[in-house]
Amino acid sequence: MKKQNINELEFIIDKLTNSIESSLSGENFQTEVKLVTKEDLKSVTKKNKWKFDWKAEFLLPERAVYKLTIAGEPDIIQGLMCVESREGHIFMHLIESAHFNIGRNKAYFGVPGNLVAYACYLSWKKGFEGNMCFIAKTKLIQHYIDTLGAKLISYNTMVINENAARKLIDRYFNK
């Protein structure tokens, strides 16, 4: 039996949107993705219903933590992602939607898709042709193949290559 890797990601692509979409009204809201600041860390704690220790990720010098917000609302974090530049690709360590964007009564659709698209965009900016990689929970591998165009390259390591990355980048960032 394989021991579970703590870096296995479990996120659901609820809907690929062009930004994020209100689950109540269907209205789309433009988003911004920026680096998390020390000030942001005060609101992304377990006490505030965040699952991961984002401060620990923030303090690792080789990693970068990004926040997704609605344009014009920089203090309400919709989701977070931690990535690292590696040889020829971006590696996504963690991704998390805010608690109010999880489950049947979520406020917005599209948060995880938006963050994954941004990881591909970062990869493109760094000259990695959009290539990004992550380790998936086994039960979600087919979901990532179907929704993101990801490919399985080993037991549970997945890659989003140039073609799939371009589609995500075009959807979210080339308006």
Domains and CATH numbers, the chain: 20-173 (3.40.630.30)
Average per-residue pLDDT for the chain: 90
Q: Are 150 and 133 in contact (CB under 8 A)?
A: no
CA neighbours closer than 13 Å in the CB half-sphere of residue 48? 14
> Which tens digit of pLDDT belongs to each residue from 53-110?
999 999 999 999 999 999 999 999 999 999 999 999 999 999 999 999 999 899 999 9
The amino acid present at 21, given as its one-letter code, is: E
Chain centre distance of CA 79 = 7
> Which tens digit of pLDDT belongs to each residue from 122-158?
999 999 999 999 999 888 899 999 999 999 999 899 9
Q: pLDDT at position 2, please?
A: 39
Q: What is the pTM of this model?
A: 0.90
Q: Does residue 4 surpass a pLDDT of 90?
A: no
Among residues 54, 51, 16, which one has the least CA distance to residue 150? 16
What DSSP designation does 27 have? -
Task: Please state, in angstroms and rounded to a whole number, the distance separating the CA atoms of residues 145 and 142.
Answer: 5
